[in-house]
Amino acid sequence: MRGWLDDAPSYVPPVKVGAVMRALAVGRVVESKNDDFPVGAHVHGTLGVRDYLVTDGKDLRVIDTSQVSGPEHLAALGLTGLTAYFGLMELGKPTEGETVLVSGAAGAVGSVVGQLAKIAGARVIGIAGSDEKCEWLTGELGFDEAINYKTADSLTKAIASAAPNGVDVFFDNVGGRVLDAALANTARNARLVICGAISDYNSTDRAGIRNYPRIITHSLTIHGFTIGDFGDRLPEGMKALGGYLAEGKLVSRIDARDAEVKDFPEVFGALFEGTNTGKLIMALPGRE
Amino acid sequence: MRGWLDDAPSYVPPVKVGAVMRALAVGRVVESKNDDFPVGAHVHGTLGVRDYLVTDGKDLRVIDTSQVSGPEHLAALGLTGLTAYFGLMELGKPTEGETVLVSGAAGAVGSVVGQLAKIAGARVIGIAGSDEKCEWLTGELGFDEAINYKTADSLTKAIASAAPNGVDVFFDNVGGRVLDAALANTARNARLVICGAISDYNSTDRAGIRNYPRIITHSLTIHGFTIGDFGDRLPEGMKALGGYLAEGKLVSRIDARDAEVKDFPEVFGALFEGTNTGKLIMALPGRE
């Protein structure tokens, strides 16, 4: 969303000054002249930050909130959960007994990736930026090991120690030196799924990936992707993730903040102050 | 072969001092007690640098030299040709009308890659290190364009100019800044086949690959490999390459030097002096 506020070319046009802020949201139908959207139904789509809107329903989807709540449709079943699902299952393809390494593991994408890798029968190692996050990973989320990259003397050695037989799948949200350290620990035929490079997005002087000859010597495959690559398969991912949530196999952490439309900038700011825990969602009280 | 002469771990054990130099070769059966290897048959395998040997035939293959000569079994149908074939066709998968970029294009691997890409109906751009090599690529080999990386002001801009719609497949034998410049010009869903990193093998201070975030934004796939990954499919590649040679669709340049076994070090040295043109092969006169 931050990128949409810059007046620069991106994967979608910028939001104009004075326009409704673009946002994925879950809403409820209060009046209807369209049988596909009965009154009372919950709908999911790019509704924007506002109290009400009139729409022909184009690009909106009615969702079932009987088993999976509206907010979960924006978190575990939203873009972050779906990114984790398709990136890991379709590109990383972890198998029973393999070792999966995840960076940004306590984030909205990484935390789902690690849990899906456990469901697939893999041994899972997470990289995160605080001891508290690492404890959450190995505790509530069931990761096998977690590495605090901020306190590790050598990230490369810490990964080697946690993955003595090498890393079979690396799901990367961070890039930069984390990616380089992971590359140095890849097993033969490892798959690297490059989902984000948060460490380098604002960098003007990138260090560069130096361990790339390992791509040849270890017959690695590297996949980059955005969720748009799986645009026609999202319902399939939602069904799988919804099932795991309902069975209690997937833990999702949502930080829902009650607020009015006018408070959006303040709520949004929590992302940049780092005060949110889990997927940050703004809730309009009384609209459930 | 150079790597086998270092007393250091590699993908095969080093050749010991005083031992027969390990070498892939084509030989002829002069005596036989094995019906699988009749007298007069040509055989291919790791025969070593020597005049004669006694062998049980293990790991040797009888080859048909009626359409493809013995030396061609070491060049276009040897490890370099097979590396080009499987790397491009199985990993790069160029399709009709796509743009294929090849680095080290005048080399034993690159020259075959470019010609196979033309056979697949792609537009082919080669990167090489001299105007003479570039002329060979666009002349005899039928490449659409060639870039002399030594004289181009900006390799990134030269590629952009030669590939205005972006590069769909990049077959890389060089690594380093050539790989980075190619990355900057990738089309969406491009495939990068990383076959060699000759520019960085002896480097103690690599510049590093800085354009890697494009892997995400353009949904790229990068494949590293060695020919061993296709070990059980080599006959299939030989058959295809042999067919192209026989039809005249594939031009192979062989630099065969007549020499005695004792002259091996001198012949081998041509590789490091750069005095060879095409695939360097040592021929023992009178043994054809």
- Cα–Cα distance measured from residue B89 to residue B96, given in angstroms and rounded to the nearest whole number: 13
* Nearest-neighbour CA in chain A from B96: distance (Å): 22
SS3 label, residue B205: coil
**Record: contact A208-B210, CB cut-off 8 A:** yes
Say whether B213 and A197 touch across the interface (CB within 8 A).
yes
| B20-41: average pLDDT | 95
Model ipTM value? 0.86
For the residues B29-49, what does the mean pLDDT come to? 95
A224/B219 CB distance under 8 A: yes
From B208, B219, B225, residue closest to A210, measured CB to CB:
B208
Q: Å from B139 to nearest chain A CA?
A: 31
Quote the CA–CA distance of B181 and A197 in Å, as a whole number: 19
Same-domain check for residues B60 and B83:
no
Numbered residues of chain A with Cβ closer than 8 Å to any chain B Cβ: 11, 175, 179-180, 194-197, 200-201, 206-210, 212-226, 229
Residues A90, A44 share a domain = no
Within 10 Å of residue B198's Cβ, how many Cβ atoms? Answer: 16
Which residues in chain B are closer than 8 Å to A209, comparing Cβ atoms? 208-210, 212
Q: What is the pLDDT of residue A190?
A: 98
Give the mean model confidence (pLDDT) for residues B37-60.
Answer: 94
Over residues A19-41, mean pLDDT:
95
Question: Closest partner residue to B212 among A175, A214, A225, by Cβ?
Answer: A175
Q: Which of A122-131, A202-211, A233-242, B229-238 bottoms out in mean pLDDT, i.e. has the lowest?
A: A202-211
For residue A201, name the pLDDT band (cuts at 50, 70, 90): low
Q: Read off the pLDDT of each residue in A180-193 and give the average, rounded to a whole number.
A: 97
Residue from A90, A222, A227 to probe the interface with B (highest B Cβ count within 10 Å) = A222
Residue B48 and residue B166 in one domain: no
Mean pLDDT (whole number) for A256-265: 94
DSSP string, A185-218: TEEEEEEEEE---TTTTT-SS---B--TTHHHHT
Kindly list the residues from chain A whose CB atom is less than 8 angstroms away from the CB atom of residue B206: 208, 210
* Amino acid A288: pLDDT: 66
The dihedral sign for the CA sequence A146, A150, A156, A161: negative
Domain that holds residue A52: 2-75+252-283
Say whether both B126 and B220 belong to one domain. yes
Q: Is residue A173, in this structure, part of any structural domain at all?
A: yes
Judge whether residue B274 has pLDDT over 90.
no
Q: Is the alpha carbon torsion for B154, B157, B162, B168 positive or negative? A: positive
The first and second tokens of residue A256, run together, are 């829902």
Cβ proximity of B121 and B115 under 8 Å:
no
Q: CATH number for the domain including B49?
A: 3.90.180.10
> Is the confidence at residue A185, as pLDDT, over 70?
yes
pLDDT-based confidence at residue A5 (cuts at 50, 70, 90): confident
CATH number for A92: 3.40.50.720
Q: Considering Cα of A155, then A161, then A165, then A170, what sign does the dihedral take?
A: negative
For residue A206, the chain B residues in CB contact (below 8 A) are 208, 210
pLDDT at B142 over 90: yes
With respect to residue B237, please indicate whether it lies within any of the assigned structural domains. Answer: no
A93 shares its domain with A210 = yes
Q: Is residue B240 in some structural domain?
A: no
Q: Do B194 and A216 touch (CB under 8 A)?
A: yes
Tokens standing for residue A183: 């590359």
In whole numbers, what is the pLDDT of chain A averaged over residues?
91
In terms of domains, do B95 and B55 share one?
Answer: no
B88 and B52 in a single domain? The answer is no
Please answer yes or no on whether B216 and A210 come within 8 Å at the CB atom.
no
Interface of B with A (CB under 8 A): 11, 175, 179-180, 194-197, 200-201, 206-210, 212-226, 229
> Mean pLDDT across the stretch B197-220?
83
Check pLDDT > 80 for residue B178: yes
Do residues A260 and A144 share a domain? no
Which candidate, A78, A81, A28, A82, places its Cα nearest to that of A55? A28
Q: What is the mean pLDDT of residues B132-159?
A: 96
Q: Is A217 left (phi over 0), alpha (psi -120 to 50) or beta?
A: alpha
| Minimal CA separation from B118 to chain A, in Å | 25
Q: Which residues does A146 contact at the CB level (< 8 Å), separation at least 6?
A: A105, A125, A126, A127, A128, A133, A134, A135, A137, A138
Q: Would you call A220 and B218 a contact, using CB atoms and an 8 Å cutoff?
A: no
Is residue A61 included in any domain, yes or no?
yes
Answer yes or no: do A226 and B219 touch at CB < 8 A.
yes
Q: Tell me, yes or no, whether B105 and B222 share the same domain.
A: yes
Per-residue pLDDT at B288: 65
Q: Say if residue A76's pLDDT is above 80.
A: yes
Output the CA–CA distances (angstroms, integers) from residue A97 to A48, A185, A209, in the order listed.
Answer: 43, 17, 28
Query: Does residue A245 sit within a domain?
Result: no
d(CA B136, CA B139): 5
How far is CA A85 from its chain centroid? Answer: 9
Q: Is the dihedral of CA B249, B253, B258, B259 positive or negative?
A: negative
Contact B221, A221 (CB under 8 A): yes
Residues 6 or more apart from B202 whose CB is under 8 A from it? none
How far apart, in whole angstroms, are the C-alpha atoms of residue B279 and residue B1?
Answer: 14
pLDDT tens sequence across A218-248: 999 999 999 989 989 998 999 999 999 989 9
Q: How confident is the model at residue B59 (pLDDT cuts 50, 70, 90)?
A: confident
- Average of per-residue pLDDT across B71-87: 93
Interchain pair B223, A223: CB under 8 A: no
The beta-carbon neighbor of A216 closest among B180, B218, B226 is B226
Instruction: Tell me whether residues A221 and B217 touch, CB distance under 8 A.
Output: no
Q: Are B125 and B159 in contact (CB under 8 A)?
A: yes
pLDDT higher than threshold 80 for residue A193: yes
> Within a domain: residue A129?
yes
The answer on B87 and B37 residing in a single domain is: no
- Predicted pLDDT of residue B9: 62
- Find tokens 């306590």 and name the residue: A106
User: Does A217 contact B224 at a Cβ distance shorter than 8 Å?
Assistant: yes
pLDDT score for B161? 98
The residue behind tokens 């900057």 is B184
Q: Which residue of B has its CA nearest to A11?
A: B217
Task: Calculate the dihedral angle through the C-alpha atoms of B221, B227, B232, B237, rounding to the nearest 10 degrees.
Answer: 90
- The answer to whether A236 and A260 have CB atoms below 8 angstroms apart is no
Cβ contacts from A onto B, under 8 A: 89
Q: What percent of chain B has pLDDT over 90?
A: 73
Total domains in chain A come to 2
| B67 within a domain of the structure (yes/no) | yes
Residues of A in contact with B225 (CB under 8 A): 216, 219
Tell which of A216, A220, A229 to mutate to test the B interface (max B CBs under 10 Å): A216
Does B220 score more than 70 pLDDT? yes
Q: Which of B199, B200, B212, B221 to mutate to test the interface with A (most CBs of A within 10 A)?
A: B212
Q: Select, from the ranges A114-123, B243-252, B279-288, the one with the highest average predicted confidence (pLDDT).
A: A114-123
A216 and B196 within 8 Å at the Cβ level: the answer is yes
Residue B246 lies in a domain: no
Q: Identify the pLDDT of residue A255.
A: 87
Output the six-digit token pair for A218.
């270890």
* Closest CA relative to residue A199, chosen from B212, B183, B11: B212
Q: Examine the domain organization and report whether B153 and B20 are in the same domain.
A: no
Pick from B191, B195, B215 the residue to mutate for testing the A interface (most A CBs within 10 Å): B215
Is the Cβ–Cβ distance between B222 and B215 less than 8 Å? yes
Which of chain A's residues have a Cβ under 8 Å away from the Cβ of B209?
208-210, 212
Confidence label for A195 from pLDDT (cuts 50, 70 and 90): very high
Considering the domain architecture, whether residues A189 and A152 belong to the same structural domain is answered as yes
Mean pLDDT across A14-40: 94
Looking at chain B, which residue has its C-alpha nearest residue A196? B216
Query: Do A224 and B217 lie within an 8 Å CB cutoff?
Result: yes
